[in-house]
Amino acid sequence: MNPVEQQLRTFITENFFVEDGDLRGEISLTRSGIIDSTGVMEILLFLEERFGISVPDDEITPENLDTLDNLVRYVSQAENRVSA
Partner 1 sequence: MKAPGAAFAEDLVDFDRAAAVERITSTLRDQVTKRLHRRGVVLGLSGGIDSTVCAALAARALGPDRVLGLLMPESHSAEESTPLGQLAADHLGIPTLIEDITPVLEALGCYRRQEAAIRRVLPGYGEGWRSKIVLPSVVDSDSYRLFTLVAQSPEGESFRVRLTPTAYLELVAATNFKQRVRKMLEYHHADRLVYAVLGTPNRLEYDQGFFVKNGDGAADLKPIAHLYKTQVYALAEHLDLPRAIRDRPPTTDTYSLPQSQEEFYFSLPYGLMDRCLWAHDRGLTPAETAVGTGLSEDQVGRVFADIEAKRRATRYQHARPLLVEEGVEVDA
The residue ranges that bind partner 1 (CB under 8 A) are 30-31, 33, 36-38, 40-42, 44-45, 57-58, 60-63, 65
Q: Which residue in 73, 74, 67 sits closest to 53, CA to CA?
A: 74
Whether the CB-CB separation of 47 and 53 falls below 8 Å is answered with yes
Q: Of the two residues 13 and 39, which places its CB atom closer to partner 1 in the complex? A: 39
Q: In Å, how far are 32, 35, 78 from 72, measured between CA atoms?
A: 18, 17, 10
Q: Which is nearer to partner 1, 41 or 82 (CB)?
A: 41
Residue 67: CB atoms within 10 Å: 21
Tell me how far, at minimum, the Cβ of 70 lies from partner 1, in Å: 12
Work out how close the CB of 29 gets to partner 1 at its nearest, in angstroms, rounded to a whole number: 11
Amino acid letter for position 69: D
Please report how close the Cβ of residue 47 comes to partner 1 at its closest, in angstroms.
Answer: 12
Residue closer to partner 1, measured from CB, 31 or 50: 31
